[in-house]
Structure 1
Amino acid sequence: MPASRTTAHAVVVGSGIGGLTAAVALRQSGWKVTVLERAESLEPVGAGIGLAPNSQRALDVIDLGDEIRALAAWQGAGGMRHPSGRWLSRTDSTAAAERFGGPLVLLHRATLIDRIARRLPEGAVRTGSPAELADAGTVGGRPARVTTPDGDIEADLVIGADGIHSSVRRALFPQHPGPAYAGFTTWRTVVPAPERPFEPHETWGAGSLWGTQPLKDGRIYAYAAAVAPPGARGGDGEQAELLRRFGDWHDPVPGIIAASGPDRVLRNDVHHMTTPLPAFHRGRTALLGDAAHAMAPTLGQGGNQAIEDAIVLAHHAAAGQDLGAGLAAYSAERLPRTTAIVRKSAQVARLMSLTGTPAVAVRDTLMSVVSRLGPGLVLRTFDGIADWRPPQRTYAAEAQEAHAEQGAHEERPARH
């Protein structure tokens, strides 16, 4: 059932990167949008995020891509290292940009959230507004409905962008097992750049890794991961835990840990959904991002795929088009792609999680051999991921929207 351009109302549950991108893209394609956020502010949970060329091209659709590309800080060489400092493989920022059509951009999540949120009108985002899906709605029939402390809201479309432990997903697919612990935990921090220059790197040890990446503002985004029981925490703080695990690794790792301070290290257990959902929609309700396909961070694609989801969803569900067909097309397009990336991320996570000395030695040797054969082989890991491009508007869709707009204009009463 096509929704009128002047009345179509979408409610987005969750104001993370995917939810806000969806709100901007839907509004751009003709929807009135309300974003409901449980937290009291838009301050994001997390530290840094890497945006690959695929999500940058998605952000081009809402005129944000070039603004993000301008924040790229990685120049020159980088690669993967052994805890001793020995390079296992080498890559180059120029080669990566040429292969995939753009740079890798590392930035603080707060920066990205702010840049996206600026594109929404005042009042579109309601913080301190927890929401639950009461009714998924039926296309061609009743609207979807969410409950909030201030009362129920009916909508032509509801987007569940409420993260890994999504209540919207549970309401849509109560029989799905949901996310499972991936076997490891992560730490993240942002600190001032060290005095001595360094090349960006990700260092792999036995059942652990460390990454050090520059930000455009001169700070450093550092992240770590290690095999650990779920729910485990450092009894004397996470900075002390990092020192125990990584304090004897190569420079600049120990200095970055020392600079992080006891209260500036975020720790989160990793959960992923290796069992895919049957679809990303039901009725008038759709899921995106971690709510739809939580993945391990080992390919750095979680936020990137959420942005892709948002742009593809807005493309297929543009106001004035058939919503049922649009949501079906969204599921058909996104489910296979994200399922493959979830599984590939899990495979890389298993490699990182190796703890036995022989297995770790074989893994490191293979990395070194592949690197010596050519940097293109290392970059090939991201073929089919970083080279993705957003769907293009068709002439028929643009003509249909123009016709709907003309009809709405003709129906408006003349003003005297």
Structure 2
Amino acid sequence: MSRTSQQPHAVVVGAGIGGLGAAVALRRRGWRVTVLERAAALEPVGAGIGIAPNALRALDVLGVGDAVRAMAAFQGEGGLRRPDGRWLSRTSGEAAAERFGGPVVIAHRAELVAVLAGLLPEGALRTGTRVVSASPEGRVTTGDGTIDADLVVAADGINSAVRGALFPAHPGPVYSGFTSWRTVVPAPAAYLPHETWGRGRLWGTVPLTGGRVYCYATAVTPPGGRAPAGDERTELRRLFGDWHDPVPGLIDSAAPGTVLRNDVHHLARPLPAFHRGRVALLGDAAHAMTPNLGQGGCQALEDAVVLAHLAAPDAAEHAVARALAAYTVQRLPRTTRVVRRSWSVGRLTTWSSRPAVALRDALFAGVNRVGPRLALRSLDGIADWRPPAGPYAADGTGQARQA
């Protein structure tokens, strides 16, 4: 396939949240878009995702912010606990909304993917398509042939093949020192959202709509491990089975084969740029981070709307080059700060010595006594981001600002 002079063509590699968001944003901007996804189908993944106010504003630009806000199951009080159940700090959805101009929505990842995919025209999403390479000139080679695109958006994840081809000298992602588990289980009762921090271990419980609970956990462990017989519930029981209620019961509620286990990696060294030639990197391909601030998908959605805002539908090489250079200038410094801040929080969860954990717990409890809202400060300068152009409904101002 070759470029056409009538409507510039953008090819997006990867149909995750960032890739779909970029495709929708570029289409709204006037591009013809094709999304290439190697999986045979957009299978529902049993995991939740935190959608902070910054990402909700990006979704407003895509026209689905309110639809995603409606996915929120709970906006009451939650907080941080110890393994014995004692609360170390508390905050509320209302406090977060007041501080950042909108709520934090916890949704099922598959439902957000479905909303975004539903905004694309028939035929724009091609599943079962493996991308072999993408050149700076915009040539995308797949198992079925080649596509000459005016713009290529590489949203192919943390192990991005496109990133490796564009920046072969970059060391790539590094192991963050801990492994994660995620699952969605039926909820026999209403649970307060919370994280529980122990010695080198963390457990999170968040209610979803439809009588479900999203559970996530991390633990310091060597990479590459797997539970005996592949049943990760066994490993979760070993690590968290003696923690406070409802943790043991939630583990028992998980159906066999529904617990996802992933070693956590991040890009400790920033890339020199988020583009080369006609190719832009987005989301985890550009700035993979630990999950500790819940900003991985949020930053990918920011990338998507900023890239589309800068990229006028112009196939001329100088226009694409100018747009992608501006994209790097706007996104690389901000995402580098978020990656580093997320890793700083993640490092606290890896502490395992009793004195260090006692000091950490005392610090959290002290901050809570001074002012519960101080716990939200880790998202200052992040969750209050606004897109470069509206509309967005999170705070009703319609004003633009770049963080």
Question: Structure 1 length as normaliser, TM-score?
Answer: 0.90
What is the one-letter code of the residue matched to 1:367? F
Q: 1:301 to 1:349 in 2, by over 3 A?
A: same
| Runs of 5+ unmatched residues, structure 1 | 138-143, 395-416
Take 1:261 and 1:107, find their aligned partners in 2: how far apart are those partners?
Answer: 20
Identify which of 356, 364, 384 aligns with 1:387: 384
Over residues 99-134 of structure 1, what are the superposed CA-to-partner deviations in whole Å (9 max), with x where a residue is unaligned? 111111111111001000000001001101001224
Deviation at 1:380, TM superposition (A): 1.3
What is the one-letter code of the residue matched to 1:173? F
Pick which of 294-303 and 375-384 moved more. 375-384
Take 2:228 and 2:333, find their aligned partners in 1: how far apart are those partners?
Answer: 42
Equivalent pair of 1:5/1:31 in contact (CA under 8 Å):
no
> Is residue 212 of structure 1 aligned with residue 202 of structure 2?
no
> Match of 2:354?
357
What is the one-letter code of the residue matched to 2:367? V
> Match of 1:148?
142
> Match of 1:71?
71
Q: 1:63 to 1:393 in 2, by over 3 A?
A: closer
> Match of 1:262?
256
> Match of 1:330?
327
Deviation at 1:234, TM superposition (A): 1.2
> Match of 2:60?
60
Take 2:141 and 2:180, find their aligned partners in 1: how far apart are those partners?
Answer: 34
Equivalent pair of 1:193/1:220 in contact (CA under 8 Å):
yes
Deviation at 1:5, TM superposition (A): 8.0
> Match of 2:270?
276
> Match of 2:401?
none
SS of aligned partner of 2:228: coil
Over residues 57-107 of structure 1, what are the superposed CA-to-partner deviations in whole Å (9 max), with x where a residue is unaligned? 001011010111111122221100000000010001111111111111111
Structure with greater Cα Rg:
1
Equivalent pair of 1:165/1:179 in contact (CA under 8 Å):
yes
> Is residue 288 of structure 1 aligned with residue 291 of structure 2?
no
Equivalent pair of 2:240/2:248 in contact (CA under 8 Å):
yes
Q: How many pairs does the alignment contain?
A: 385
Over residues 226-252 of structure 1, what are the superposed CA-to-partner deviations in whole Å (9 max), with x where a residue is unaligned? 000000111142001101110111111
Identify which of 223, 235, 241 aligns with 2:228: 235
Deviation at 1:318, TM superposition (A): 2.2
Equivalent pair of 2:179/2:261 in contact (CA under 8 Å):
yes
What is the one-letter code of the residue matched to 2:338? I
Q: CA RMSD in A?
A: 1.5
> Match of 2:108?
108
Take 1:261 and 1:4, find their aligned partners in 2: how far apart are those partners?
Answer: 50
Q: 1:5 to 1:357 in 2, by over 3 A?
A: farther
Take 2:349 and 2:93, find their aligned partners in 1: how far apart are those partners?
Answer: 23
Identify which of 170, 175, 180 aligns with 1:176: 170
Deviation at 1:42, TM superposition (A): 1.1
Take 2:258 and 2:136, find their aligned partners in 1: how far apart are those partners?
Answer: 40
Take 1:75 and 1:99, find their aligned partners in 2: how far apart are those partners?
Answer: 14
Pick which of 205-214 and 74-83 moved more. 74-83
> Is residue 224 of structure 1 aligned with residue 217 of structure 2?
yes
Identify which of 193, 197, 200 aligns with 2:193: 200
SS of aligned partner of 1:298: helix
> Match of 2:395?
none
Take 2:163 and 2:212, find their aligned partners in 1: how far apart are those partners?
Answer: 37
SS of aligned partner of 1:54: helix
> Is residue 19 of structure 1 aligned with residue 19 of structure 2?
yes
Deviation at 1:262, TM superposition (A): 2.4
Equivalent pair of 2:237/2:248 in contact (CA under 8 Å):
yes
Aligned residues: percent identity? 64
Take 1:134 and 1:366, find their aligned partners in 2: how far apart are those partners?
Answer: 48
> Match of 2:400?
none
Q: Runs of at least 4 residues of structure 1 off by over 4 A?
A: none
| Runs of 5+ unmatched residues, structure 2 | 392-403
SS of aligned partner of 1:194: coil
Take 2:25 and 2:167, find their aligned partners in 1: how far apart are those partners?
Answer: 26
Identify which of 280, 300, 306 aligns with 2:294: 300
Equivalent pair of 2:46/2:184 in contact (CA under 8 Å):
no
Equivalent pair of 2:46/2:258 in contact (CA under 8 Å):
no
Deviation at 1:47, TM superposition (A): 1.1
Take 1:75 and 1:103, find their aligned partners in 2: how far apart are those partners?
Answer: 8
Take 1:262 and 1:9, find their aligned partners in 2: how far apart are those partners?
Answer: 43
Deviation at 1:295, TM superposition (A): 0.3
> Match of 1:248?
242
Q: Superposition pairs for residues 29-108 of structure 1, below 5 Å?
A: 29-108=29-108
Equivalent pair of 1:5/1:319 in contact (CA under 8 Å):
no
Question: Structure 2 length as normaliser, TM-score?
Answer: 0.93
SS of aligned partner of 2:235: helix
Take 1:345 and 1:210, find their aligned partners in 2: how far apart are those partners?
Answer: 17
Take 2:7 and 2:73, find their aligned partners in 1: how far apart are those partners?
Answer: 43
What is the one-letter code of the residue matched to 1:350? R
Over residues 323-361 of structure 1, what are the superposed CA-to-partner deviations in whole Å (9 max), with x where a residue is unaligned? 221111110000001000100111111100001010000
What is the one-letter code of the residue matched to 2:174? A
Equivalent pair of 1:184/1:270 in contact (CA under 8 Å):
yes
> Is residue 368 of structure 1 aligned with residue 365 of structure 2?
yes
> Match of 2:6?
6
SS of aligned partner of 1:61: helix
